[in-house]
């Protein structure tokens, strides 16, 4: 499972011109589910993201977590994160989980974050979406459960 997380002041995802999800301060999470991923990876990744100390404390140091600031998460499915790009010029996506399994684990990941008291907004799984955000910092991390 791969997540690109961006610390944001605000973020929004639209589908067919209508807002599907929007948050204020928190994290925009682009989530890719790979073949072989399970609830184990989703639990681990959600826990790491919720507790990762990447928000500024009173001294401006990255020392507090998403949970500490009562921040929200905008979780957007992103199968292209599982793209294989090293051969040729057209990426391949055979490493991505099948759509049904990917959606199940995507929804599961969102529920895990919610159980950790993180408010979650989402896009629409499998839809063409437009994501807009104001990156705060900028602060961006790539988290891969395989590494």
Positions annotated as catalytic residues are 78-80
Query: Within 13 Å, how many C-alpha atoms sit on residue 46's CB side?
Result: 27
Q: Is 8 exposed, middle or buried (0-12, 13-18, 19+ CB in 10 A)?
A: buried
Among 76, 62, 73, CA closest to 32:
76
Q: Is 147 helix (H, G, I), strand (E, B) or coil?
A: coil
What are the counts of helices (DSSP H) followed by strands (DSSP E) for the chain? 2, 8
| Distance (Å, whole) CA 43 – CA 103 | 15
């Amino acid at each position: 499972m791969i997540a690109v997380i961006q610390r944001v002041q605000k973020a929004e995802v639209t589908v067919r011109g209508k807002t599907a999800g929007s948050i204020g301060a928190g994290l925009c999470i682009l989530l890719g589910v790979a073949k072989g991923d399970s609830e184990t990876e989703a639990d681990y990744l959600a826990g790491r993201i919720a507790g990762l100390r990447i928000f500024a404390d009173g001294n401006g140091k990255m020392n507090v977590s998403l949970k500490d600031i009562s921040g929200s998460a905008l979780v957007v499915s992103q199968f292209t994160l599982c793209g294989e790009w090293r051969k040729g010029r057209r990426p391949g996506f055979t490493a991505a989980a099948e759509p049904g399994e990917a959606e199940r684990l995507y929804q599961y990941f969102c529920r895990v974050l919610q159980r950790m008291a993180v408010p979650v907004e989402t896009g629409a799984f499998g839809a063409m979406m437009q994501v807009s955000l104001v990156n705060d910092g900028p602060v961006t991390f790539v988290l891969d459960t395989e590494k």
